Structure 1
C-alpha cells in the first residue's frame, strides 16, 4: 500500500504586542543614533516583537499563549476544530518550562487529549524537525490530521539592566536580532483544494567536531551563580557557514526531486542583511522570495510558519516551493519541498 500524500492545509501565526523598532530600542537603552544606525546596517532588521514589556519587565505572553493563539487561527482558517487532531508535535528552543512540556500545555488549552504528543528541542530547524516527525507519522496511515507547532520566546534571556555599550558583539547581536513569536500548521492526509503536498522534508545533523555557533544556557539553583551571559552567538561563524549550508540544502532537494526551476524560495531568516546575502548567493532565477525577518525579527522556530502563511496565499496550481533553514547551535540542515497539485 502506497503512503498517503500529506498536505499543508492551513497555517496560523502569532506575535506578542506591538512592534519594537530600532529607534525604540535605542531610546529604551539610552544609546545614541550611531548604535541605531549600526543595527540597521549590520543586522538589517527594522523591528521585532517582544513578549516582555521593555519598560516594566512584565511578561505579557508565554510561548504557550502564542502557540494557542496561532493554533486557533490555523483551525479557523481550515474550518477544523481541535477534535479533528490526532497528533501534536512542537519544535522550540525556548519552552516555557522544562516540565510540563509546552506542547502539552498548549494541547490542554485547546482541549486536545488522548493523542500522541511530542516536543523537540532545537534551534532554527526545530519547526522542520517537527514537520518531519508529523509527516512520517501521517505517512503510515495511522493518523490523519496533525497539529504542528513552532515558536520561541527569546526575550526571556534579555537582561534589561545591561548597558549595550558594555556588551561585546557576541552578546549584543542576540538582543537586537531576535524576537518572539509562534506558528501552527495543520497537516492532513485528506484531499483538500488549495493545500500543497509535502514532497520532501530534509533534516540532517552536520555538527560533528564543530564548535557551536549559538549557545543558550539554563541556570538552576545549583549553578545560578555562573558568570557570563545566558546567550551568546558566534556571528562570524554563522555568517560564513549558513550561506554554504543553504546552497547545499537547495542543491540536494532540487537534485532529488528533479526540480531545476522553482516558483517560490523560502530562504533562512537569520536577519535582514544575512537573508539578502543568502538569496543573492543562491541565485535561483525566476523564484519569488518569501521573507519576513525584517519586520518580525528572527523568531526562531516560528519563522517558517510566517513564510508558509504568505506562501499559501500565493501558490497556484503546479507551483513548487522550497524552504530552507539552518540550525547553528550544533549545525543542522533543514529543508522542505511543497507542490500545489492541480
Structure 2
C-alpha cells in the first residue's frame, strides 16, 4: 500500500501596511536602535491598523496560499488556524476565515500554542491527511500580538509584530512532511505569559491588564537548550541527518537563538531563512511568514528538505521536517 504524505502545494502571507522602526520606538520608550539590533536582530515590525484583525490578515494570507496552490476554497476540507490573538472569543477565527473564503461546511478550528501555534496546526493537519480523513487542508498562523504589548515596557515592546502566513497541504503519494514533533511543559508558565483572561478575570490596569510578561534571559536559556534536543528528535523521527537539510526555517523571535540552532546543525547562516529583522516576533505567524518569503524570493526550491521549528509560551515547542 502506497503511503500517504501531506505536501505543501502553496504558500501565502500578509502583513499590515504600517511599519514601526526601531527609530520610531526611540520616541516612545527609553531604548535605541543599536540596543534592539544587537540583542535581537530586529530592525522593524509591522503593526495592525485600528480595526484590522487577526482574521483580516489570516484571510489574505490564505487567499494567496490558495492562489499559489491552484486550489479553490470550496475544495478545502479542513482549516486549522494557529493563533493566540483570536478576533473574538467565539466562534473561532478559523470559522470566521472559513466563511470569508467561501469554504463553508468543512471542519475549522483554532489551535493556541503561543509562538508554536502554526507548527502545532501543521502537525494536526498532517495527521488528518495521513489518516485519510482530509485531502486538502488550509493551515494558517496569524497574530495581532501588538494588541497585548505594553508600549511603555522597553524589554518586551521592541520584540513583537503582527502578521500571518498560510500553506495549503494536500494528500500526495510523493514525500512531503516526513515527521512532526510537538511538545509542551506548563511548568514554565511564569517565564512567558499573559496573566488575564475570561475565566481568570481581568484587572483595572490599562487595557484591562492584557499584556505580555516575560523573563527574557530565562526564556532564552530554555529555548536554546530545548531546540537543541528537538533537532535531534526530529532528524531521528525522519530517519535523516543534519547534512540532509537544505534550509532551516526557524521561529523568528531572536537572531541569537536562530544562530545557536544553525550552529547545532553545522549550517551556514546562508542556509537559514531570517526575517526577524523585518517582521520581529509575529508568534504563530512567524514560521509561515518566513516560509512564504523564502519560497517567493526563490530561495527555497521544489525537492529541497526544510526543517521548520518554533518555541513559545507554555512552554511549547514543535518542529516539522519536510520536502518542499
TM above 0.5:
yes
Residue pairs, 1:91-102, within 5 angstroms: 91-102=82-93
The partner residue of 1:83 within 57, 68, 74 is 74
Alignment root-mean-square deviation, CA? 2.4
Q: Which runs of 5+ in 1 are unaligned?
A: 53-58
CA distance in 1, matches of 2:95, 2:303: 37
Deviation at 1:60, TM superposition (A): 4.2
Q: Which one of 310, 315, 322 corresponds to residue 331 of structure 1?
A: 315
2:114 aligned counterpart, secondary structure: coil
For 2:42 and 2:69, locate their aligned partners in 1 and report how far apart those are by CA, in whole Å.
Answer: 31
The answer to whether structure 1 residue 182 and structure 2 residue 164 are counterparts is yes
Task: Please state whether the residue corresponding to 1:324 is helix, strand or coil.
Answer: strand
Q: What is the CA distance between 1:208 and its match in structure 2?
A: 5.4
| One of 191, 201, 213 as aligned partner of 2:191 | 213
Equivalent position SS for 1:12: strand
SS state of the match for residue 156, structure 2?
A: helix
Q: 1:39 aligns with which of 36, 39, 45?
A: 36
| Pairwise CA distance, 1:184 | 1.2
Distance 1:2 1:331, change over 3 A: farther
How many Å apart are 1:253 and its aligned residue? 1.5
Aligned to 2:263: 280
TM-score by length of 1: 0.85
Deviation at 1:144, TM superposition (A): 1.0
Q: Once the two structures are superposed, what CA deviation does each residue of 1:255-278 show, in whole Å capped at 9, x if it has no partner?
A: 232322121112332123432344
Instruction: Tell me the residue number matched to 1:56.
Output: none
Q: What's the offset of the Cα at 1:72?
A: 0.9
Secondary structure of the 2:281 match is coil
Structure 1 residues 23-60: Cα deviation after superposition (integer angstroms, max 9, x where no partner): 01213x165xx6333222222200000014xxxxxx14
Once residues 72 and 213 of structure 1 are traced to their aligned partners in structure 2, the CA distance between those partners, rounded to angstroms, is 36
Q: 1:159 to 1:124 in 2, by over 3 A?
A: closer
Whole-Å separation in 2 of the counterparts to 1:185 and 1:113: 18
Cα distance change of structure 1 residues 287 and 43 upon mapping to structure 2, 3 Å threshold: closer
Assess if the C-alpha contact under 8 Å between 2:118 and 2:287 holds in 1: yes
1:254 alignment partner, SS class: helix
1:238 is aligned, of 219, 228, 251, to: 219
- Check whether the contact 1:183–1:302 (CA below 8 A) recurs between aligned residues: yes
- The equivalent of 1:17 in structure 2 is 17
SS for the counterpart of 2:188 is: coil
* Cα displacement (A) at 1:191: 6.2
What is the TM-score when the length of structure 2 is the normalising length?
0.89
Query: Structure 1 stretch 279-288 or stretch 40-49: which is displaced more?
Result: 279-288
Mean CA deviation greater in 214-223 or 234-243: 214-223
* Larger Rg over CA atoms: 1
**Where does 1:103-114 land on structure 2 (aligned, <5 Å)?**
103-114=94-105
* Change in 2 beyond 3 A, CA 1:65/1:273: same
The 1-side partners of 2:314 and 2:29 are apart by 35
Q: How many residues align?
A: 317
Alpha carbons of 1:318 and 1:12: their partners in 2 closer, same or farther (altered >3 Å)? closer
> Which portions of structure 1, spanning 4 or more consecutive aligned residues, are displaced by more than 6 angstroms?
none
1:65 aligns with 56
Unpaired segments ≥5 residues, structure 2: none
In structure 2, relative to structure 1, the CA distance for the partners of 1:286 and 1:278 (3 Å cut) is: closer
Alignment of 1:122-201 (within 5 A): 122-159=113-150, 164=152, 167=153, 172-190=154-172, 197-201=176-180
For residue 322 of structure 1, report the CA deviation from its aligned partner: 1.0
Deviates more, 1:315-324 or 1:181-190: 315-324
- Looking at structure 1, the residues matched to 136 and 290 of structure 2 have their Cα atoms a distance apart, in angstroms, of 21
Other-structure match for 1:271 = 254
CA contact under 8 A between 2:250 and 2:287: conserved in structure 1? no
